[in-house]
Structure 1
Amino acid sequence: MTRQPINLVDKLDGFADLWSPKIVAGFNGHDVMVVKANGDFNWHSHPDTDDFFLVLSGRLTIQMRDGDVVLGPGEMYVVPRGVEHCPRADAETHLLIIEPAGTPNTGNPETAAIKTKI
């Protein structure tokens, strides 16, 4: 156990790849991750879990079939389980994402981005 705070800005400065979740901590069986986003991710859903997004910087549009949700810095949104969605950032955007450990970020292990610990 570490007693040092986790600086999310420092963590985000440590990589450049997009749409590649980086695990910075664990929380009650969940991965706490930072992600750099730019462009469209892909349309997907999670049949068994909600999808948590918190924008740290930039702007994220969560496209859904029945309308979009636009988030700015300090805003969060939870996509309910089973709802098809496609995150999009029109410029580089930094996110904090929390999901159960082992959950593929596309809802499908075959198409999911690989999560790495930093």
Structure 2
Amino acid sequence: MPDIIQDAKTFRADRAWGARDIARIDGASVRLHWTDQPYKWHVNDGEEVFVVLQGVVDMHYREYGAEKIVQLSPGDMFVAGKGEEHVARPIGEARVLVIEREGSV
């Protein structure tokens, strides 16, 4: 029987960037995150896909040493490649689907 997620719009974790595991697919994790606080600057050991489901997120990243920012709204996606430094900073509450290598930061 398939899993049906009907509360993605109302999911709330007990802490910023708390998550619900949705699926594991061939070494990748799919997680629903809730947050109202920035994450931390980090680099992943593989690609990471962010899909903003609700809220607005300013995604900061470094390109050739210069900090850049792109604002993501519901339905927008951001793909951080392996080794690309980035940090997500929500404006208020946000719900974000994240797909990344299992065990990644």
Give the alignment's TM-score, normalised by structure 1: 0.75
CA distance in 1, matches of 2:90, 2:8: 21
Runs of 5+ unmatched residues, structure 1: 106-118
Letter in 2 for 1:101: E
TM-score by length of 2: 0.83
Q: Which runs of 4+ in 1 moved over 6 A?
A: none
Where does residue 26 of structure 2 map in the other structure?
28
Shift of 1:8: 5.2
Task: Show CA shifts across 1:49-94 (max 9, x none).
Answer: 1121000000111111331121110111101111111110011000
More helix by share: 1
RMSD of Structure 2 on Structure 1 (CA): 2.0
Encode CA deviations 1:28-63: one digit per residue, 9 max, x unaligned: 2211100012121111112x3112100000011111
What is the total number of aligned residue pairs between the two structures?
101
Identity of aligned residues (%): 29
Query: Whole-Å Cα distance in 2 between the matches of residues 23 and 40 of structure 1?
Result: 20
In 1, the alpha carbon distance for the partners of 2:59 and 2:88 equals 4
Query: Which ranges of structure 2 fall in alignment gaps of 5 or more residues?
Result: none
Structure in which a larger fraction of residues adopt strand: 2
